[in-house]
Amino acid sequence: MMNMTETQTTLTIPLADDFHVHLRDGDLARTVTPLVRSGGVGRCLVMPNVNPPIQTVHDALEYKRSLLHIAPDMTFLMTLYLHEGLTHNELERAAEAGIVAIKCYPRGVTTNSEHGATDLMAHADTFAAAENLGMVLCIHGEIPNDTERGIDIMNAEEAFLPELKRLHTTFPKLRIVLEHVSTAAAVNAVRELGDSVAATITAHHLLLTAEDWANNPYNFCKPVAKTSADRDALRAIIKEGHPKFFLGSDSAPHRQAHKECEHPKPGIFTTPILLPLIAQCMEELDCLDNLAEFVATFGRHFYRLAPNKGTVKLERTPFHVPDRYGDIVPFAAGTTLNWSIPSPR
Ligand code: DOR
Ligand code: ZN
């Protein structure tokens, strides 16, 4: 633990782990991937929802190779997109190849989820195999919109929680991460389930409510930011320093043309400003002492990984967030943050 005082102007912590990031492919990947390190992250869990999705060990390893080519100093942890053709054999090969997690998208809830699951229990064999192999199951916890059942983007996460509980009861040793929790209900559910269930928290869900995305596509993501009571529950759990809640940025870049249009794509791009943003937020919550555990300890313990080598230094000097990186507009574009990461490190 650091001993923080009001005069503290620098902060050195281990390089962070981001346990949920979208690095895309092609030109977008070339723009985004080098910025992961600029945001203070040394290791990240890469989401498989590129197009076509990463469904095989071969594709995951190819994808990893292409990312390492762009950013050789990073550690990329890979995931497989849950789908019906995922065989036991393929999962064994995945575990052997060091692929750490399977990502489950309920069909139709977000970007490139057209190939996602329609019935979780149809994948029971895969979950049993993952449980035996010690792989993690990462879940986008939302029920797809359903007017008959009264499910919409505001209550889709809460409506998913009974499914989470059922999964955990059926596969008690399967390590499950409920990704990007956005509600007080989800925080409570994860807190109350056993130690094999954890959650990631994004920077943006600590900062936004529904007011913020209603008129601004750059604040629109899935799950959407909810009420101030929900946001405050996320803040409270990181202030408490609960080890089952750790950083997964869900940074999800989209080109400007896909944001400033009639149907903006969901996704908020925080990668290049990630640790300054979280440091500012935690400082405002008077829990900057918890930063290192939230970004560099709790998650790796859950994933059973060694500490990152190397540190990142944050300075309490103003950081002007650029208007764009290539044709991607970042979160908080044009504003000034209190903390920066001096470069080169
Ligand atoms: O806002 C989001 N964007 N949420 C997701 O779950 C996916 C992501 C993306 O890939 O754009
Ligand atoms: Zn995501």
What are 215-255's pLDDT values in tens digits? 999 999 999 999 999 999 999 999 999 999 999 999 999 99
Structure tokens at 44: 């990240």
- Position 152 in a domain: yes
Whether 290 lines ligand 1, by a CB cut-off of 6 Å, is no
Reported as a single tens digit per residue, the pLDDT across 17-67 is 999 999 999 999 999 999 999 999 999 999 999 999 999 999 999 999 999
302 pLDDT higher than 90: yes
- Position 345 in a domain: no
Q: Is 205 labeled as catalytic in the residue annotation?
A: no
Contact (CB, 8 A) for 318 and 338: yes
Range of the domain at 203: 10-337
User: Closest-lying ligand to the alpha carbon of 110?
Assistant: 1
Mean of pLDDT over the chain: 96
Whether 32 lines ligand 1, by a CB cut-off of 6 Å, is no
User: Closest-lying ligand to the alpha carbon of 45?
Assistant: 2
The Cα 69–Cα 283 span in angstroms is 36
- Tell how many helices (H) and how many strands (E) occur in the chain: 14, 12
Q: Is 242 labeled as catalytic in the residue annotation?
A: no
Contact (CB, 8 A) for 274 and 16: yes
Q: Give the β-pairing of 101-104 and 136-139.
A: parallel
Contact (CB, 8 A) for 74 and 21: no
Ligand 1, atom 10: closest residue by C-alpha: 111
- Position 1 in a domain: no
How far does CA 132 lie from the centroid of its chain?
25
**What would you measure as the largest C-alpha separation in the chain, in angstroms?**
56
- Position 36 in a domain: yes
How far lies 169's CA from each of 141, 165, 202, 208, 248, in Å?
Answer: 16, 6, 26, 32, 25
User: For residues 115-127, b (16+ Cβ closer than 10 Å) or e, as one string?
Assistant: bbbeebeebeebb
17, 18, 230, 250: which one is catalytic?
250
Whether 267 lines ligand 1, by a CB cut-off of 6 Å, is yes
1 pLDDT higher than 50: no
Contact (CB, 8 A) for 292 and 12: no
Q: How confident is the model at residue 6 (pLDDT cuts 50, 70, 90)?
A: low
Beta bridge partners of 268: 251
Residue 111: predicted pLDDT: 80
- Position 344 in a domain: no
Contact (CB, 8 A) for 137 and 100: no
- Tell me, what CATH number does 202's domain have? 3.20.20.140
Whether 221 lines ligand 1, by a CB cut-off of 6 Å, is yes
How far does CA 79 lie from the centroid of its chain?
13
Q: Is 226 labeled as catalytic in the residue annotation?
A: no
- Position 41 in a domain: yes
Amino acid identity for residue 234 in this structure: L
Reported as a single tens digit per residue, the pLDDT across 127-173 is 999 999 999 999 999 999 999 999 999 999 999 999 999 999 999 99
Distance 10 CA to ligand 2 centre (A): 31
- Position 45 in a domain: yes
- pTM over cut 0.75: yes
Residue 7: predicted pLDDT: 54
**Number of domains into which the chain is organized:** 1
Nearest one of 73, 69, 25 to 46, comparing CA atoms: 25
The single-letter DSSP state of residue 19 is: E
Ligand 1, atom 4: closest residue by C-alpha: 222
Structure tokens at 62: 């190819």
Helix (H) or strand (E) holding 186: helix 184-192
344 pLDDT higher than 70: no
Residue 273: CA count within 13 A, CB half-sphere: 28
- Position 3 in a domain: no
